[in-house]
Structure 1
């Protein structure tokens, strides 16, 4: 039988280390019984758990920590990780690593047998998959060789899919009993591109936990720590650095803004996922004369505090499913500007709770930034409206309630 919380050892893919469940840290407010006592066993399968985490990984953690533990117990399976044992224990449930680099070699056969044994020995009732290998490889095995129900999460518009993945999703995607789309735009994409029956695709928006307020003095101190003057107009964006996030467009917009508002400063929060693109961005910053005005500060755990220390939030993405960063910025009461892609128009009501611009349009982006900075009263009104919209429509409790309803319908 496979043991939980394994960590693959170099050169020995079949050897694992166990982290005892008794050593897992639980939240201080945990009053219900732990996951192992739940009656419905859900196995979450995700391609990899590697730093820096993206939106899917953070959302998986939220799901595991907030599902009603009297009803469900959870386990996680991944094919690759660079997390330490301590970091793995933050999932608060058994976690398995099945090393998989190719989905059609002899090792893949061994891992398929291992997956089926795990499902049967642990009485897994629902397998919930994230990303291509989990959806297509693990999902097919689950449907063809087990009695477990299959739920698949789709979190983007397929912009990173290869040709073989597009074909595979058309053939194998409809195997899922339920597909959870992170926005209505993603739902429509899944129905059209993957030929999935519409009744099997459910829109489940990301949910945001109610953040603790950040005192103005703390926000000001954070600005000083980062080297931004208290009098600066700080424009912030959040996301791992890769081309789809459109930070090159933001740099172009920043060059325009700084021409009219010299005190404007720009900050990007997020780890580097694409080193060549990051190097290209640094060259752009230099070429545009923005060395002292545009900073990449890397991955940070205090994202909400950084947002509260900012004046405007910009999401310049070329494609999105449904942005967690945008929700956080709205919850911080920031006036937000986002490209009108994916689920962004479902979060922002243009002109009321933020502004939408076309992707790649740095001039429109710069104009919106300037207008907000030059009209602080309007900026505050929009920020308040954005905060209210998130609280009423995109709370974590609402997301969990809807997810539980999906699971219950399959049990």
Structure 2
């Protein structure tokens, strides 16, 4: 069977990484072929997929004004490819991909929803597109896959067809997460962070929905109260050249406690070099990076967003979103635990991922979904 994936772009993000992992998980199966169509360009991940032999098409839609041209390119491409299943990822691709697939008679359409409450950080255009998708959800897709149950609930509330929806969470490739080409000790050594220091890591691009403001305020409070604790921020635009970010850090009076690494391709090594992971978003669907931190055995503190609390399954380490004082309290409490207790929390987190959220399990669920669509009347 041939599955054509339509996605807005292929830079590093939760949906993009999940798509890449899904394709890689089927690489040894001769009965399934994946084609990827980016509405914009190949981004960071497109080249990697191309190197693995995945057919890739880029449509150059860098603005809404280019939407009609991209639609007709997509329509022409889908007519030529004639995939057995069209799988679209996120709102823009759901709308354009759904309309294009339907217009050329491709009925096995799967929409994929990754977000929860886009009113926090979502543009007016995105909100409008979601509204259009809700209106079309009863007609275009045969199945709507949500990455989180919280996401399913929100989208049913805004008008998505409930009879079309099912939840398939993200899956994690443990072999790749636990193996790293970067020396874990070298990360601390390169940054000049003592191995006696406790290191809290945050991973995620600089964006309002990630709420770095709350994390930095909380971290500043903890750093002012405790000696020997450092905070490492990993992700796009988390660099000293970002004036907004630097203003937040300088305002804490604890700038020496922060290390800005920017976007990296060794996130797993950064996680494994740390003592505690913190997710501080104001909205999430199914947070990939929390699962990755759990998979490598890190004890975690998270805000109560999307399916984060469900994934972590440790309510005592969950705090309300946008609450720097509460987050500071929990981080301080975590750092105060004996090493053995933090290690036990990390071991429990890794076991939860291993038993419920491996890529093998999730890969099979998508394969079965595609097969059921093709085989059904």
1: distance between equivalents of 2:43 and 2:335? 41
Q: Within the alignment, does 1:94 sit opposite 2:55 as a pair?
A: yes
Partner SS, residue 36 of structure 2: strand
1:96 to 1:240, Cα distance in 2 relative to 1, 3 A: same
Q: Structure 2: how far apart are the matches of 1:165 and 1:396?
A: 30
Instruction: Please state whether the residue corresponding to 2:174 is helix, strand or coil.
Output: coil
User: By how many angstroms is 1:109 displaced?
Assistant: 5.0
What is aligned with 1:132? 91
Distance, in Å, in 2 between the alignment partners of 1:335 and 1:241 is 23
Superposition pairs of residues 357-376 of structure 1, within 5 angstroms: 357-376=319-338
Q: Find out whether 1:46 has 2:7 as its counterpart.
A: yes
Contact 2:117 2:283 in 1 (8 A): no
Which of 76, 82, 97 is matched with 1:117 structurally? 76
Contact map agreement 2:10 2:42 (CA 8 A) in 1: yes
Of residues 311, 318, 322, the one that matches 2:275 is: 311
Relative distance call for 1:113 and 1:86 in structure 2 (3 A) is: closer
Distance 1:234 1:273 in 2: 17
Deviations 1:282-327 (A, max 9, x none): 1111121222101221111111111111111000000001111101
Tell me if the contact between 2:39 and 2:70 (Cα under 8 Å) persists in the aligned partners: no
1:270 maps to 235
1:214 Cα deviation from its structure 2 partner: 6.3
Q: Kindly indicate whether the alpha-carbon contact (under 8 Å) linking 1:135 and 1:173 is maintained by their aligned counterparts in 2.
A: no
Matched, 1:378 2:341: yes
| Residue of structure 2 in register with 1:407 after alignment | 370
- What is the Cα deviation at residue 168 of structure 1? 0.9
Q: Contact between 2:107 and 2:142, CA under 8 Å: does it hold in 1?
A: no
Shift of 1:346: 1.6
Residue of structure 2 equivalent to 1:32: none
CA distance in 1 between partners of 2:7 and 2:263 (Å): 21
Q: Confirm or deny: 8 A CA contact 1:140 1:172 kept in the other structure.
A: no
Partners of 1:391 and 1:303 lie apart in 2 by 19
SS of residue paired to 1:364: helix
Q: Taking structure 1 as the reference length, what is the TM-score of the superposition?
A: 0.82
Q: Which has the higher helix share?
A: 2
Alpha carbons of structure 1 residues 311 and 64: separation in structure 2 relative to 1, 3 Å: same
Classify the secondary structure of the residue corresponding to 1:272: coil
Equivalent residues of 1:337, 1:356 under 8 A apart: yes
Q: Distance in 1 between matches of 2:228 and 2:239?
A: 30
User: Any gaps of 5 or more consecutive residues in structure 2?
Assistant: none
Across the aligned residues of Structure 1 and Structure 2, the Cα RMSD in angstroms comes to 2.4
- Seen in structure 2, the aligned counterparts of structure 1 residues 119 and 81 have a Cα distance that, compared at 3 Å, is closer
Query: Against the structure 1 CA distance between its residues 158 and 152, is the aligned structure 2 distance closer, same or farther, given a 3 Å change threshold?
Result: farther
What's the secondary structure of 1:234's corresponding residue? strand
Partner secondary structure for residue 137 of structure 2? helix
Instruction: For 1:135-214, list aligned pairs within 5 A.
Output: 135-159=94-118, 160=122, 162=124, 163-174=127-138, 175-196=140-161, 198-211=162-175, 213=178
1:81 matched residue in structure 2: 41
For 2:69 and 2:224, the matched residues in 1 are separated by 60
**TM-score scaled to structure 2, two decimals?**
0.89
Q: Distance in 2 between matches of 1:387 and 1:310?
A: 15
Is 1:347 aligned to residue 311 of structure 2?
Answer: yes
Q: Say whether the 8 Å CA contact 1:181–1:202 is kept in structure 2.
A: yes
Q: 1:252 to 1:43 in 2, by over 3 A?
A: same
Q: Does 1:229 align with 2:194?
A: yes
Q: Of 322, 331, 337, which residue of structure 1 is paired with 2:295?
A: 331
Aligned to 1:219: 184
8 Å CA contact retained: 1:240, 1:270: yes
- Which deviates more, 336-345 or 114-123? 114-123
* Per-residue Cα deviation, 1:29-59 (whole angstroms, up to 9, x for no partner): xxxxxxxxxxx11110011223xx1111111
> How many aligned residue pairs are there?
363
